[in-house]
Chain A
Amino acid sequence: AQSVTQLGSHVSVSEGALVLLRCNYSSSVPPYLFWYVQYPNQGLQLLLKYTSAATLVKGINGFEAEFKKSETSFHLTKPSAHMSDAAEYFCAVSAGGTSYGKLTFGQGTILTVHP
């Protein structure tokens, strides 16, 4: 079974500041990990994914995440926040192999960016 915990339901940063959104996972098998973003009244859009290749994964819009097996973490970072980054972010885990599209999502973190 898989589970995801996102630490902090709300994160607020100033424009230009570092963005750090935390995600810890639990999985009985080597996981695939994903970060998705959701803008108001829209579906989820993939930011990046980890599938057992490089542990530092680069995604769209300047986001990146590092897979740390020893800490069971997959935190999302961006060096400099932009106003357009304001949205809700979801971390998700999938079991390896044939999981039939079953993603287990965290509760989400709402990112607010102040001017």
Chain B
Amino acid sequence: DAGVTQSPTHLIKTRGQQVTLRCSPKSGHDTVSWYQQALGQGPQFIFQYYEEEERQRGNFPDRFSGHQFPNYSSELNVNALLLGDSALYLCASSFGVSGANVLTFGAGSRLTVL
């Protein structure tokens, strides 16, 4: 049973560019959350998608946007990249939206902004 898959695994961009990261949730899961993990830090919640809508958002600027498709997969878009956007971006999936749900995490997409 495939878990959460993310692509690409690594990418390098320059300041001002735009990036799209992709996530396929675990089979049977319908909810996708995105987290940013800067070096040496714990993951920080960006936003969550359920039923193709953004349900909750963390403290991130509008440069960060996303989308969920009918097959539950999701994309994270970041515009006007800054050096500080360099981080590991983690996608997590679950079934439903209960706070008790266990999130299954992917291995992440490591973004380097030069």
List residues of A whose CB falls within 8 A of some B CB.
4, 32, 34, 36, 41-46, 49, 51, 90, 92, 94-108
Minimum CB–CB distance from B54 to chain A (whole Å) comes to 9
B42 lies within 8 A of A101 (CB) = no
The answer to whether A43 and B42 touch (CB under 8 A), given A95-B99, A98-B98, is: no
Chain B: residues with Cβ within 8 Å of the partner, total of 30
Q: Which residues of B contact A (CB under 8 A)?
A: 4, 31, 33, 35, 40-45, 48, 50, 55-56, 58, 90, 92, 94, 97-108
Given that A42-B107, A43-B107 are known contacts, is A104 also in contact with B45, CB under 8 Å in the complex?
A: yes
Once A32-B99, A43-B106, A101-B33 are accepted as A-B contacts, the answer to whether A90 and B42 lie under 8 Å apart by CB is yes
Of A96, A98, A101, A106, which is within 8 A of B103 by CB? Answer: A101
* Known A43-B108, A90-B42; contact A103-B56, beta-carbon cutoff 8 A: no
Q: Give the distance to chain A from B58, nearest Cβ to Cβ, in Å.
A: 7
Chain B positions within 8 Å of A94 at CB level: 99-100
The answer to whether B41 and A100 have CB atoms under 8 Å apart is no
Residues of the B chain whose Cβ atoms lie less than 8 Å from the Cβ of A4: 42
B41 touches A98 (CB 8 A): no
In the complex the two chains form, is A43's CB within 8 Å of B105's CB? yes
**7 tightest A-B contacts by CB?**
A105-B42, A99-B99, A43-B105, A100-B56, A101-B33, A94-B99, A100-B55
Residue contact B100 to A106, C-beta cutoff 8 Å: no
In angstroms, Cα B31 to Cα A100, docked, is: 8
Q: Is the CB of B31 within 8 A of A101?
A: yes
Interchain CB contact under 8 A, A99 and B42: no
- For B108, give the chain A residue with the smallest CB separation: A43
| A29 to chain B: closest residue by CB | B99
- Using known A-B contacts A49-B102, A96-B99, A102-B58, determine if residue A90 contacts B43 with beta carbons closer than 8 Å: yes
